[in-house]
Amino acid sequence: MDIVVNEADEKEKKWWLGKGSLGSLGIDEERLPLVLARGVKFNQFAKRAEKIKARRFLDYRDGTVTIIELPTGVHEVAGREFSYMFMYAIRNATNQNSIFNWGSISLYTNLSTNEYEEPDACFIPIRLLEASNAVLNPCDRNGSPWPTIILEVASSETLQHVRDKINDNWLAHDRCEDVIVIKIGNWEGRRRNKTTQRPLRRLRCLKFCRTATLQQNPNATTFEAIEEIEFGSTNANGKESYFCTGPHMKWLTINCKCIFTGCLQPPSLPSFHTFISSRPFSSPRFPYPLQAPGVAIDLYDLQQAIFLTMGHN
């Protein structure tokens, strides 16, 4: 399906040249992607984006500035809830095996030109930060290593744009290991189940993994999702679905080897077997989600956080 790219009107162009925040622009999400300006130098773009803390909602390509996403409640809650669940999963780790949540930090994709991108969240083992070896491909001017896990939340942003960002930036050589994408579909007509009032909205979780892709195809030059999990309340055709109506029905798993990619051994990597769910896990009743040491996150809880944020109207 062709994506319609809208052009900014005079008021919106004036906003880009001014000092207002992204929230003050007052545009409808349905107008995205929206081209704000052309012929812009990157340092000009970066200065404006930094002032309004909006780099992760903007795209810069060949001098063109485009709004691809808005800081809606649903977008922000999805990012915060996932980050909370991930960090809660490793809460009992020793200090040596702890993970930092770097949030939406600026990650430099080209230090010589100051070009950078910002994910919705990213996570890095303390072990990588303590490594004595110099980082050959740092993510900032402090010489910091790249985080191993990246989170991207996309509502109005297209999956193709996210894939381009993943292949051009996050999973390039010597950078990140896994990218988790939460894709929030349009809430068409603000539809609900007439009996239960359950919101009818498509939600997907896509996992991209550099190592898993290269194991399947050592010559791979691009990365596609190795897993796509439907955890919303509609199918792709918009009809109501029932594959995630309660806890323990849809899991996202993240392998320990991915979380701790690049960490020196010994000591051996930690062997987390952690399940994060609002309901206690009962192995006789439900399939065991973890096939290897790692973290399993119950996507039903993320679904419920998103649905609650959508409101009652």
Q: Mark whether 32 and 106 lie in a shared domain.
A: no
In a domain, 109, yes or no: yes
**pLDDT tens, position by position, 36-94:** 999 999 999 999 999 999 999 999 999 999 999 999 999 999 999 999 999 999 999 98
Q: Mark whether 43 and 77 lie in a shared domain.
A: no
Q: What number is the average pLDDT over the span 121-132?
A: 89
The last residue of one of the domains, among 44, 67, 90, is 67
In a domain, 228, yes or no: yes
In a domain, 214, yes or no: yes
Domain range for residue 61? 6-67
Q: Which of 159-163, 267-271, 285-289 has the highest mean pLDDT?
A: 159-163
Q: Mark whether 293 and 230 lie in a shared domain.
A: yes
Structure tokens at 3: 């994506």
Q: Is the pLDDT of residue 2 over 70?
A: no
Q: Mark whether 42 and 92 lie in a shared domain.
A: no
Tell me what the pLDDT averaged over the chain comes to. Answer: 93
Q: Residue type for 275, please?
A: F
Q: Mark whether 104 and 146 lie in a shared domain.
A: yes
Q: Mark whether 262 and 297 lie in a shared domain.
A: yes
Burial 77-91 (b: 16+ CB within 10 A, else e): bbbebbbebbbebbe
The pLDDT value recorded for residue 280 is 86
Percent of the chain whose pLDDT exceeds 70: 96
Counting the structural domains of the chain, the total is 2
Q: Is the pLDDT of residue 1 over 70?
A: no
Percent of the chain whose pLDDT exceeds 90: 82
In a domain, 1, yes or no: no
Q: Mark whether 62 and 80 lie in a shared domain.
A: no
Q: What number is the average pLDDT over the span 239-244?
A: 96
Alpha-carbon distance 81 to 78, whole Å? 5
The last residue of one of the domains, among 47, 67, 87, is 67
**pLDDT tens, position by position, 170-205:** 999 999 999 999 999 999 889 999 999 999 999 999
Work out the pLDDT band at 146, boundaries 50, 70, 90.
Answer: very high
Enter the pTM of the model. 0.95
In a domain, 100, yes or no: yes
The pLDDT value recorded for residue 313 is 66
Do 119 and 170 form a contact (C-beta atoms < 8 A)? yes
In a domain, 232, yes or no: yes
**pLDDT tens, position by position, 253-284:** 999 999 999 987 655 778 889 999 999 877 66
In a domain, 31, yes or no: yes
In a domain, 19, yes or no: yes
Contacting residues for 147 by C-beta, under 8 A, at least 6 apart: 102, 107, 122, 123, 124, 139, 176
Residue among 11, 22, 28 at smallest CA distance from 48: 22
Alpha-carbon distance 69 to 80, whole Å? 16
